[in-house]
Structure 1
Amino acid sequence: MDSTKSTDEAAVNIAASKSAKGKAPTTNNVITKATPNPHGGTKRGVAIFDFVLRICALVAALAATITMGTTDQTLPFFTQFFQFQASYDDLPTFTFFVVANAIASGYLVLSLPFSIVCIVRPHAAGARLLLLIFDTVLVAFTTAAAASSAAIVYLAHNGNSNTNWFAICQQYGDFCQQVSGAVVASFIASVIFIFLVLLSAVALRRH
């Protein structure tokens, strides 16, 4: 009887060991690995490009502000009682141009820290949305200033015979060159702002 029991117990142990080998490992032994987000690198690249564009727009807007704000030319005459002077503040359009581009320059300086936040944290939607809103406002602001000043520059170069507005650029050559350069720089800043809006829209679309 004892030999029969020992034989049956050995057979049960062998069967139990075989069944244990065929079982799948439990969930406690499974090590899961976190897969990296493929969009993280793309978002960081967009944020870096956004930062570079903001620096370029700052340079353009600041150049437009300084160039227009320092535009002043006095025609030489024999006596000091008859002098003709052209300055940017003689025209309200040019004054608005200086104020608008100065505001754009200040905003771009303040927006750089938010752009850095977007580089460090590519998935931060709040900072990106804030930049998108203010960039859109500055697109309209700088475009209006550049377009209105471009109309005045056109009249300064060509005049308007129907309204008896004479072209003054033949006399005030330096003045016209400076204001023309300022208008071109402001248009460059406006185009960069448009690209910034598109970049922010693309970054938010990927969230």
Structure 2
Amino acid sequence: MPRSASVDVESNDESKGKTPLIGDGKEKKSGLKKVMGIMDFILRLAAIIAALVAAATMGTSNETAPFFSRLFHVQVSYGDLPTFRFFVIAMSILAAYLVLSLLFSVVTIIRPNIVFLRIILFIFDIVVLSLGTASAAAAAAIVYLAHSGNADTNWLSICQQFGDYCRKVNGAVVASFVDVVFLMLLVLLSGFIFLKRG
């Protein structure tokens, strides 16, 4: 009659307190959220710099040049055109919002699971993206007219007489479009964070 062999399996008490080799992914998910929060903060800083450069460059754009003769001088300034005034105001509002949003961005880095704060930032980011795009596009249209003019409406190109002024407003418009790109990246990043939550 064959003998039945019994094998005693002893539980190892030392392995009870150890963490398993395969984690549940929560630590990795939390780390990814923090990295995205840091990227959000950096993009906001870059957008602040671009908005301030755009507003300051446009706000200091003025030039006096002789017109038709040396005795008759004409001065141009950003304040002469309502579109450029709107541009400076919009970029200033945008920069002020981004400075205030830095505090909330820091909170989302420290506490990445606060969904309500992330939704508020997402909504306001879309609003300022719209404002920034509108002001940049309007200013770009005026800059195009300043460079090329419009023969059909007898609008002359003023950039031949006011070269420094045109260079400054060109720089301001370029900086505003860079700012719009940063804001678009912020909105896309927020959308990606929401997808990762799901």
**Please, what TM-score do these two structures have when normalized by structure 2?**
0.86
Once the two structures are superposed, residues 117-172 of structure 1 have per-residue CA deviations (whole angstroms, 9 ceiling, x without a partner) of: 11111111122111100000011100000001000000000001011010010000
- From 114, 118, 133, the counterpart of 1:143: 133
Match of 1:127, SS?
helix
2:166 matches 1:176? yes
Which residue of structure 1 lines up, in the alignment, with residue 5 of structure 2?
none
Q: For the residues of structure 2 that align with 1:24 and 1:66, how far apart are their CA atoms?
A: 72
Once the two structures are superposed, residues 12-65 of structure 1 have per-residue CA deviations (whole angstroms, 9 ceiling, x without a partner) of: xxxxxxxxx88989xxxx658585612111111011011001100000000000
Moved over 6 A (4+): 21-25
Which residue of structure 1 lines up, in the alignment, with residue 89 of structure 2?
99
Work out the number of aligned pairs and report it.
183
**Please, what TM-score do these two structures have when normalized by structure 1?**
0.82
Measured on the aligned residues, the alpha-carbon RMSD in Å equals: 2.1
Which residue of structure 2 lines up, in the alignment, with residue 133 of structure 1?
123
Q: For the residues of structure 2 that align with 1:119 and 1:196, how far apart are their CA atoms?
A: 15
Q: For the residues of structure 1 that align with 2:65 and 2:10, how far apart are their CA atoms?
A: 99
C-alpha spacing 1:85/1:118, structure 2 compared with 1 (3 Å) = same
Q: For the residues of structure 2 that align with 1:32 and 1:205, how far apart are their CA atoms?
A: 33
Q: For the residues of structure 2 that align with 1:123 and 1:100, how far apart are their CA atoms?
A: 32
2:40 matches 1:50? yes
| Gap runs ≥5 in structure 1 | 1-20
For residues 45-84 of structure 1, the aligned pairs below 5 Å read: 45-76=35-66, 78-79=70-71, 82-84=72-74
The one-letter code sitting in structure 2 at the alignment partner of 1:192 is: F
2:187 matches 1:197? yes
Aligned-pair CA distance for 1:78: 3.9
Once the two structures are superposed, residues 169-205 of structure 1 have per-residue CA deviations (whole angstroms, 9 ceiling, x without a partner) of: 0000000000000000000101110110011111122
Match of 1:133, SS?
helix
Structure showing greater radius of gyration is 1
Q: Which has a greater percent of strand?
A: 2
C-alpha spacing 1:22/1:166, structure 2 compared with 1 (3 Å) = closer
The one-letter code sitting in structure 1 at the alignment partner of 2:124 is: F
Once the two structures are superposed, residues 71-108 of structure 1 have per-residue CA deviations (whole angstroms, 9 ceiling, x without a partner) of: 110014644xx320110010000000000000000001
C-alpha spacing 1:147/1:23, structure 2 compared with 1 (3 Å) = same
Q: For the residues of structure 2 that align with 1:97 and 1:23, how far apart are their CA atoms?
A: 76
Percentage identity across aligned positions?
A: 49
Q: For the residues of structure 2 that align with 1:22 and 1:52, how far apart are their CA atoms?
A: 55
The one-letter code sitting in structure 2 at the alignment partner of 1:63 is: V
